[in-house]
Structure 1
């Protein structure tokens, strides 16, 4: 439950049929600032869905509606969102790793980033957004609550740090903000010590939330022990899940079985031309070329997106050319590992 706000802030809709996504309220625009519309929409009814912006006859966006109602920059951002040739349901994806799937590790990195950039919902930040008027710490009731105070400065937090690493017990408390503290610790602590600090800080923030909602903070000794246990569990899990990587070497084209064909595809990004390029070749078991394509594509921001779009475009080409039994091969591991829906 403590991670629920992070989960909500780190997710974005992947557009399928658009029927589940509210145009103005939901996050559904990847690679765009807050992933949602920032400018007022002209004359749009309450509850409009993204499906109202799609022309399924051409499997494209209704640019006339977008241009009439949206800010120009947002029109371009929306039109860069690829639409599936199949009418699939909308789905939620995690923004903070390339597979789009939430992991504890990616959630942990997001939490660390939010703390360093001072975007945790502390008293000060909530007051800035006019959500509350009282900026005092919920725990000590005497000092304005910023991120530094919430995870380091108030009495109960200091009790936890007092039982933690010796280097933290003697560390200065006169830092301006959490980022300054974080940078000072990076210079002083080893990697293992820094990891333990981050886990302990997360536990303290978690306990702060428990107290805000009427609960009691656990014993400082228990929190210190629990931080070490969580870090150890994490490291063991990483060792268990680690996949041995193949030794890099020269790669060779492997022919497909005689009864099928192989499609090899690739993509490139041309930032100076504001576009991408896709290419594919279909060969039979003896290497004979059956078909090929080279085409210009929309501009994307990273190679994984370019490879995924290239794969989709090349599959469309293969289907139109009459190939139904294919082995698909590209040079992007994440694209190959993904479950490509078409």
Structure 2
């Protein structure tokens, strides 16, 4: 018996026979419901995904699906996943409500889902394209938000790196800036991650609760959406994600270097500095020209 059925038995106390409730020919497990039942076979035949029929099931459903993912094209994979979901959904409707959906109905629902998914992908590509165009120049945040641009710079002739960050409000006005020089041997992506973490800690102390953090390190911005690896870089990112809890709203976005010039100049300036420097209300003179260009 497959896991969802067992869970249902425990929670709803409904007795279900171990046999497949549709064909009544074999015991019900995940492979049988999805691929081996006479109904499932008719659906796969209609879908014309030959890889399912030609695949050799060895008794491990995970390995079987992994094999299908390996041999199928991208388009067939999309079709396979959508069919898989609709077969399971159809099975549950039959078990719990005795609602019978035909093979044609499963296929039609699947095609509607694929068409909707493809439409969303096209809209996403248009949105990403527009976002990249906007990100070429600095833009102020929405009303009630603060924008924090952050950057890091490594110094090849010394064991150290600099961090620069600047906070501006919805009108584009300067709020505060901060630089920090750290003596350490580190990779560029790790320096960028530490820069974001330090910017989050600093902004938290200033009690700004709705912030957009912008970085020109694309890998860092993507990692903030979900860490899946365990390297030193990702450990630093996890520290930043933990700091998100101190904000009402927080975003980390990737922008081009041309839209991050103020933070870049602050980071480079730490070469001739030491420790931490902060400016509130009045910016340091060496970034005034870039601030003015962004504002205009």
| TM, length-normalised to structure 2 | 0.47
Q: Which of 1 and 2 has greater Rg?
A: 2
Q: Which has the higher contact order (CA 8 A, sep 6+)?
A: 2
| TM, length-normalised to structure 1 | 0.42
